[in-house]
Amino acid sequence: MLTTRPRGTNDLLPEELVKWHYVEGVLHQVAELYGYQEIRTPIFEHTELFQRGVGESTDIVEKEMYTFLDRGKRSLTLRPEATASTVRAFLEHKLYAGSLPVKLYYLGPMFRYDRPQAGRYRQFHQFGVEVFGAQEPSIDAEVIAMAMDIYQRLGLQNLVVELNSVGCPDCRQAHRRVLQEYLKEKLTDLCPTCQGRFEKNPLRILDCKSEQCGEIVAEAPTIDQMLCDDCHSHFQLVQEYLQKLQVPYTLNPRLVRGLDYYTKTAFEIVAQGIGAQSSIGGGGRYDHLIEECGGSPLPGIGYAMGIERIILTLEEQGIEFPHQTKTDVFIAALGKTAQKKGIKIAQDLRKAGLVVECDYLGRSLKAQLKAANRLQAQTTVILGEAELANGQVIVREMKEGLQEEVPLEELVASLVQGKKEEK
């Protein structure tokens, strides 16, 4: 127990984090290009926020939340997603009082009590954006295009945007009726979960992954036949804008997504050929969520992408990550006096922008050179007692194995110069 992490969680070790930093760098950069500002909300919120914001009858709220009472007997929940939290913060800080739309992005851990497997964890990370206060279909298309822009910059290939409109509550009500009518006679053939969904949330049956339900819903009436005029024309325009932005997409009238709050546009981005957990991002419009969370009616749209899945897909597709920062200089000090000089030289070099490592174990010269090689240090500075007594140090270029004596007072300037020339 003491040496094992909880199921469904990951330790991100240094080698892995090189990849994370690279992906996160692209995310921050693209968010800025599209005019989004970062927001950081708490890891836990009042449970009620997710019950309201995500929806009582969703898998997330019914089965997947990490909910606990704190010592003051308040029910709190580790956030399973960040849209509800972002809406809460938007309302709490009256961000609507400035100019609209408000465009926010977040990046951080989410928690769901899911069945762990490759690409599915209990603690995972999402990057997401939310746009509050814009109802034009152009923003729907732009949000999808932005997600694709991120994946493309990272080098991901073979992605498909699956697109649907889930309509407004009116279209949904109409769809719900015809769907229940259609499923009524087949109720006993549905999987036990879907039998339970029939009354509460029949739309989710369309999304069921089980084979038996798959066959039944293949013939079921889909929402596209039930869209009202407003939802229909909004959806048409989203598609026109996507074509303008040259974002290819496939229509999937069965795409429902697991959260209750979506209206009109819903989309999912799927990476082909990476197995079961192929959804690397998804989102949609939620024109009633802000109201549901206690605000005045205001439309919204957003998406979230899973960082672990992006990294898995990058690895799967054989995409190279930039290398870890290399050590510029290794300081090999021999003896107490040299060590004292060494630590100061290291600090001066770092202040000048060089990546510097030292020996902290008082090892032999041979062992220190070995350490320098392991770090792939460009240069090793050897501080020997005899050379130091003459105000000299040895500078060794590790690749060629060439070395020369350099006066101590010129050392920092010459190494800084060397680094500049190398660039």
Minimal distance in Å, beta carbon 112 to ligand AMP?
Answer: 5
Which residues in 240-259 contact ligand AMP (CB under 6 A)? 258
Give whole-number Cα distances, 110 to 182, 192, 274, 302, 412, in Å: 37, 28, 22, 16, 46
Q: Out of 141, 247, 304, 312, point to the residue binding ligand AMP (CB under 6 A).
A: 304
CA distance 32 to 22: 16
- The mark string for 331-350 relative to ligand AMP (x by CB under 6 A, - otherwise) is --------------------
Minimal distance in Å, beta carbon 281 to ligand AMP?
Answer: 5
| In contact, 255 and 268? CB cutoff 8 Å | yes
Question: Of 171 and 305, which has the nearer Cβ to ligand AMP?
Answer: 305
Provide the token pair at 21: 């930093």
Q: Segment contacting ligand AMP (CB under 6 A): 174-182, 206-214, 306-314, 338-346?
A: 306-314
Place of tokens 């990294």: 311
Which residues in 258-277 contact ligand AMP (CB under 6 A)? 258
Which position's Cβ is nearest ligand AMP? 306
**Long-range contacts of 341-348, Cβ-Cβ distance < 8 Å, separation of 24 or more:** 341/383, 341/388, 341/408, 342/381, 342/383, 345/381, 345/383, 345/411, 345/412, 348/412
Q: Does 81 bind ligand AMP (CB under 6 A)?
A: yes
Question: Of 60 and 238, which has the nearer Cβ to ligand AMP?
Answer: 60
Minimal distance in Å, beta carbon 83 to ligand AMP?
Answer: 8
Question: Of 118 and 228, which has the nearer Cβ to ligand AMP?
Answer: 118
Minimal distance in Å, beta carbon 128 to ligand AMP?
Answer: 8
Q: Out of 47, 57, 67, 279, point to the residue binding ligand AMP (CB under 6 A).
A: 279
Q: Out of 308, 328, 357, 359, point to the residue binding ligand AMP (CB under 6 A).
A: 308
Q: Out of 202, 282, 295, 302, point to the residue binding ligand AMP (CB under 6 A).
A: 282
Q: Does 309 bind ligand AMP (CB under 6 A)?
A: yes
Minimal distance in Å, beta carbon 199 to ligand AMP?
Answer: 23
Question: Of 52 and 112, which has the nearer Cβ to ligand AMP?
Answer: 112
Q: Out of 133, 202, 281, 300, point to the residue binding ligand AMP (CB under 6 A).
A: 281
Q: Does 311 bind ligand AMP (CB under 6 A)?
A: no
Minimal distance in Å, beta carbon 403 to ligand AMP?
Answer: 51
Distance, first Cα to last Cα, the chain: 48
Q: Does 176 bind ligand AMP (CB under 6 A)?
A: no
Minimal distance in Å, beta carbon 325 to ligand AMP?
Answer: 28
Minimal distance in Å, beta carbon 123 to ligand AMP?
Answer: 8
Which residues in 89-148 contact ligand AMP (CB under 6 A)? 112, 114, 119-121, 124, 126
**Nearest 5 degrees, angle CA 297-CA 255-CA 180?**
85
CA distance 401 to 396: 6
CA distance 113 to 82: 16
If 0-12 CB within 10 Å is exposed, 13-18 middle and 19+ buried, where does residue 317 land? middle
Question: Of 79 and 175, which has the nearer Cβ to ligand AMP?
Answer: 79
Count of residues engaged in binding ligand AMP, rule: CB under 6 A: 18
Question: Of 141 and 310, which has the nearer Cβ to ligand AMP?
Answer: 310
Residue ranges in contact with ligand AMP by CB under 6 A: 81, 112, 114, 119-121, 124, 126, 258, 279-282, 304-306, 308-309
